[in-house]
Structure 1
Amino acid sequence: MFLKKPIAKLERKLKKLAQHSNKGGGVRPKGKIQQTRRKPVDSSRENYENLTAWQRVQLARHTSRPYFLDYIRKVFTDFVELKGDRYFGDDPSMPCGLAKIDGMPCVVIGQQKGRNVKENLLRNFGSPHPEGYRKALRLMHMGEKFHLPIVALIDTPGAYPGIGAEERHIAKAIAVNIQEMMVLRTPIVAAIIGEGGSGGALGIGVADRLLMLENAYYSVISPEGCAAILWKHRKYAPEAAEALKANAFDLYKQGIVDELVPEPFGGAHQDIEATANYLKSALVAALRSIRKLPMEQLLCERYSKFRKIGIFSEERSPPLN
């Protein structure tokens, strides 16, 4: 990992100093050892505070990063998973169900990746099939019927683009979700907890409040895909990540993301408990604020929020004399 590389040399130096000090017969460089021990921490902190866009993408994909079901255990209570889209089948990459957050009943939807080959095959590497989106929509309509808010946790490289998914109309499933979520008469809060890839993320991401962990990313295309299109090679992914402005801080400045959720030093995987507490506090605050709004106002603001994305103005240059 890129955070470890700059301090490897310092760690080797520390080991040599410790060996030298244990030989005896000379002056023990205790002060130098203590000083060198501080350097890896200082170096690591400096690197973490100045991450590039590509490095944040790598952190968002870190295999030790907490996934949807990790947050289910630490943020929510009384989770009951509901399966099936009532058309084709169930999609394990899109677990959904009923739960409580801070005592509030809600419908919770998310995308789940695996940590090993077996889990990734089960979860399809976090890339949902059409039935996953249809299942999510079925539960959202249930939430609307019983006046339950919707909480969506987004973490996907994108919807599955395979032949089977195309045969079962993946594009239509996502489009219908976007259309229905825009007019769903219940509060919706979404949080990007890792990767927010393309329509796969937007299919459960139309929300009144959009939160984002600070090392997540949200983009119409992956940096590798963008590099392959613009520069004909994925080796330019770091340049593409910078150009896409898909990191949390740039998206917050553009008004696409409503709130940034902090992560512990080194990333969410370094302290899952702390990350879960940060996320829970942000979700609860967002839910409590939007539940106070009249439904017609909520729907108007939701529609306006997404209509404004992509609108910008340019200053005209003065005419040349």
Structure 2
Amino acid sequence: MASEKIAAIMSGARQDSKTDMRVLIKQLFPDFFELHGDRAASDDAAIVGGFASLDHRSVCVIATNKGKDMTERLATNFGSPTPQGYRKALRIMKTAESLHCPIITLINTPGAYPGADAEASGQGQILANNISEMLQLQVPLLAIIIGEAGSGGALALACSDQVWMLEHSMYTVVSPEGFASIMWKDGQRAQDAAQLMHIEPEWLKEKGIVERVLPEKVLADHAAALKQLIVEQLLDFDQIKLSQLLTQRHARFRKF
């Protein structure tokens, strides 16, 4: 039974319906206005970011995107952002801070792009910088894991006041395949690795790693239920002083 649950989580996290994050963005934020470029090198299609309105307020939206077809998936490195993507994300988040806009991140990535060119461009440094900066941003932050959320590539977009995940999603330090390759030199044992890693969202909630586990049905009917939950959470953030919010955010991550 446990193995069946693990298999369902893994397949659900990677289902094709979740790869094109632009669909979800359009459902949640019909007037989304996208921004491009990191102002240093180039644009990265794996990160989609910009501004929108939600319930008569301005919000910042940052999402990872795997793409709808093979051409787009190659362009996005199958949803694995490069340093340019993370710099773009941070640039947009810093703009949101100056405009006092809450930030919502939608995450579906196996991790940061592991290519040699990315490492040469400072991948590790930019991930660490994003994590540090997100912990200090003086606006509310909400991260929602839609599919995969792997390693520092996910954490660099998820250092938030609240982290939610769908019931069929994964939040892991490394992919199950990567874990199996390290432990047993056999990537085919990914399901065994996933079980050992405890990828179950409810387990992560029990450990305080995420605040909420959402049923997959929140994505039905043009994600109307998810939109309402986000609206309610932003209203909850309004009731907390910014200084208290930052204190709670720091405490949340220090305990790990």
- SS in structure 2 of the partner of residue 78 of structure 1: coil
1:206 counterpart (155, 159, 171): 159
TM-score by length of structure 2 reads: 0.95
Q: 1:178 aligns with which of 131, 151, 174?
A: 131
State the superposition RMSD in angstroms: 1.7
Deviations 1:80-110 (A, max 9, x none): 1001111111111101001112222111001
Counterpart of 1:297 (choices 236, 241, 244) is: 244
Range with greater deviation from structure 2 (98-107 or 150-159):
98-107
Q: Give the corresponding residue for 2:202.
A: 249
Q: Tell me, in whole angstroms, the C-alpha distance in 1 between the residues paired with 2:208 and 2:180.
A: 25
User: Which of 33, 46, 62 pairs up with 1:80?
Assistant: 33
Task: Report the 3-state secondary structure (helix = DSSP H, G, I; strand = E; otherwise coil) of the residue aligned with 1:52.
Answer: helix
1:64 partner SS: helix
Structure number having the greater strand percentage: 2
Compared CA separation, residues 68 and 93, structure 1 to 2 (3 A): same
Given that 1:71 and 1:276 are in contact with CA atoms closer than 8 Å, whether structure 2 keeps it comes out as yes
Task: Give the structure 2 partner of residue 261 of structure 1.
Answer: 214
In structure 1, the gaps of 5 or more residues are 1-46, 310-321
Quote how far apart the aligned CAs of 1:165 are.
Answer: 0.6
Q: Which residue of 2 aligns with 1:142?
A: 95
- Output the CA distance in 1 between the equivalents of 2:123 and 2:174: 17
Pairwise mapping of residues 1-321 of structure 1 onto structure 2 (< 5 A)? 51-65=4-18, 67-264=20-217, 272-274=219-221, 276-309=223-256
Distance in 2 between residues matched to 1:232 and 1:122, nearest whole Å? 29
Q: Give distance in 1, aligned partners of 2:249 and 2:165.
A: 17
Give the conservation status (yes or no) of the 8 Å contact 2:101–2:139.
yes
Q: CA deviation at 1:66?
A: 5.8
Contact map agreement 1:79 1:100 (CA 8 A) in 2: yes
SS in 2 for 1:77: coil
Any idea what SS the aligned residue of 1:126 has? coil
Shift of 1:207: 0.3
Match for 1:294: what amino acid? K
Describe the superposition over 1:154-201 as per-residue Cα deviations: whole angstroms up to 9, x where unpaired.
Answer: 110010010111111011111000000001101000100000011110
Between 193-202 and 118-127, the greater mean CA deviation after superposition: 118-127
Compute the displacement of 1:235 (Å): 2.0
Measured after TM superposition, the shift of residue 275 of structure 1 is 6.8
CA distance in 2, matches of 1:152, 1:51: 30
Contact 1:262 1:278 (8 Å CA) reproduced: no
TM-score, normalisation: structure 1: 0.76
Task: Give the AA of the match of 1:59.
Answer: G
- Higher relative contact order, chain-length normalized (CA < 8 Å, sep 6+): 2
More divergent stretch after superposition (89-98 vs 68-77):
68-77
Deviation at 1:50, TM superposition (A): 8.7
Contact 1:262-1:275 within 8 A present in 2 as well: no
Larger Cα-atom Rg: 1
Q: Number of aligned pairs?
A: 256
Q: Could you tell me how far 1:273 is from its partner in structure 2?
A: 3.2
**Where does structure 1 differ by over 3 angstroms across 4 or more consecutive aligned residues?**
272-275
Shift of 1:54: 3.0
